[in-house]
């Protein structure tokens, strides 16, 4: 595992963006695994800036997102479909057919999980997965206790995750209780992983990740079993390491 320490969020985003652009340039038909949330937003801003100023092409790039809330349609401003469209896709001239996000309103959610797993297989797997981390160590929406052998599945969101994400909603009651997420085994099959960590509120999670044991109680620790993980963390997140 490689750890890149950066001064702040801006530098973290820049470092991550540069790595992603380099990968796209060497493999224009790359399959990228995407994350949502505050952490990757600056990285996405960098990709947009680079696309507009350097012309990096997304014509053949394919994307698969980690997760989506159950019950929120794509037009809902809190859905991850909406987040990706607003914060990245619409600025990149990327074909909608090549961007994939689990459908949290599918009539048969179990079937949707199977479809998503098969889709990732059909794409030849994820070449580079971008990940954030929850304060409780979750990756995607795999909350503590999720088996490392899990594939794309339906999860009940932990109360602390719903509280953390309520900042985007009018009240916590509006935060969905369930989500669909790539499983930990699905994530670990990515050829390469970029884990982004920013801010003092993630410092304990980073400490646990670096120094704690590998345990299903802390989902991100599964990444220690992967051989191509780069962690980019800013100074605030590195407070305890
Ligand atoms: P955040 O979420 O980037 O909004 O902090 C990360 C996560 O919960 O995985």
Q: Which tokens go with 34?
A: 């995407």
End-to-end Cα distance, the chain: 15
Look at residue 183 and give its three-state secondary structure: coil
Ligand 1 pocket residue status of 137, Cβ below 6 Å: no
CA 39 to chain centre: 9
Give the model's confidence band at 34: pLDDT under 50 very low, under 70 low, under 90 confident, else very high.
very high
For residue 55, what is the domain's CATH number?
3.40.50.1360
Task: Answer whether residue 126 is part of any domain.
Answer: yes
Task: Answer whether residue 240 is part of any domain.
Answer: no
Q: Give the distance (Å) from ligand 1 centre to CA of residue 134.
A: 5
Average pLDDT of every residue of the chain: 97
Q: What is the pLDDT of residues 42-65, one digit of tens each?
A: 999 999 999 999 999 999 999 999
Look at residue 153 and give its three-state secondary structure: strand
Question: Rounded to an integer, what distance in angstroms lies between the CA atom of residue 142 and that of residue 138?
Answer: 5
Q: Which of 143, 153, 165, 234 is catalytic?
A: 143
Task: Answer whether residue 143 is part of any domain.
Answer: yes
| DSSP code of residue 236 | T
Task: Answer whether residue 40 is part of any domain.
Answer: yes
Predicted local distance difference test score (pLDDT) of residue 175: 97
Predicted local distance difference test score (pLDDT) of residue 24: 98
Q: What is the pLDDT of residues 193-220, one digit of tens each?
A: 999 999 999 999 999 999 999 999 999 9
Q: What is the pLDDT of residues 160-175, one digit of tens each?
A: 999 999 999 999 999 9
Task: Answer whether residue 205 is part of any domain.
Answer: no
DSSP letter string, 47-106: HHHHHHHH----SS-EEEESEEESS--TTSTTSHHHHHHHHTGGGTT--GGGEE---TT-
Question: Rounded to an integer, what distance in angstroms lies between the CA atom of residue 83 and that of residue 75?
Answer: 10
Look at residue 131 and give its three-state secondary structure: strand
Q: What is the pLDDT of residues 106-140, one digit of tens each?
A: 999 999 999 999 999 999 999 999 999 999 999 99
Q: What is the pLDDT of residues 75-92, one digit of tens each?
A: 999 999 999 999 999 999
| Residue 95 belongs to domain spanning | 2-199+212-234
Total-model pTM: 0.97
Residues in the chain: 241
Ligand 1 pocket residue status of 102, Cβ below 6 Å: no
Give the model's confidence band at 23: pLDDT under 50 very low, under 70 low, under 90 confident, else very high.
very high
Helices (H) and strands (E) in the chain, counts: 7, 10
Ligand 1 pocket residue status of 39, Cβ below 6 Å: yes
The answer to whether residue 143 is catalytic is: yes
Domains held by the chain: number: 1
Question: Ligand 1 atom closest to Cα of 135?
Answer: 8
Q: What are phi and psi of 61, to 5 degrees?
A: -70, 140
Give the model's confidence band at 69: pLDDT under 50 very low, under 70 low, under 90 confident, else very high.
very high
Q: Give the distance (Å) from ligand 1 centre to CA of residue 202.
A: 9
**β-sheet with 2-6: strand ranges across:** 2-6, 229-234, 192-197, 128-131, 31-34, 62-65, 99-100
Question: Rounded to an integer, what distance in angstroms lies between the CA atom of residue 122 and that of residue 149?
Answer: 20
The answer to whether residue 67 is catalytic is: yes
Task: Answer whether residue 109 is part of any domain.
Answer: yes
């Amino acid at each position: 595992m490689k750890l890149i320490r950066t001064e702040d969020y801006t530098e973290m985003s820049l470092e991550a963006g540069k790595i992603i652009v380099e990968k796209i340039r060497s493999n224009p038909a790359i399959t990228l695994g995407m994350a949502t949330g505050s952490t990757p937003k600056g990285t996405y801003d960098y990709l947009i800036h680079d696309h507009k100023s350097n012309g990096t092409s997304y014509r053949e790039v394919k994307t698969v997102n980690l997760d989506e809330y159950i019950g929120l349609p794509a037009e809902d401003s809190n859905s991850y479909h909406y987040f990706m469209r607003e914060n990245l896709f619409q600025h990149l001239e990327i074909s909608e057919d090549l961007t994939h996000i689990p459908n949290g309103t599918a009539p048969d959610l179990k079937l949707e999980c199977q479809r998503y797993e098969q889709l990732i297989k059909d794409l030849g797997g994820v070449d580079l997965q971008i990940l954030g981390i929850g304060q409780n160590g979750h990756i995607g929406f795999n909350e503590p206790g999720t088996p490392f052998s899990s594939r794309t599945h339906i999860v009940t969101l932990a109360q602390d995750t719903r509280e953390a994400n309520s900042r985007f909603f009018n009240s916590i009651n509006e935060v969905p209780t369930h989500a669909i997420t790539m499983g930990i085994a699905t994530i670990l099959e990515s050829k390469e992983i970029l884990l982004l960590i920013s801010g003092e509120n993630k410092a304990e999670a980073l400490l646990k990740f670096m120094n704690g044991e590998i345990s299903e109680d802390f989902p991100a620790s599964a990444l220690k079993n992967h051989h191509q993980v780069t962690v980019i963390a800013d100074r605030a997140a590195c407070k305890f390491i």
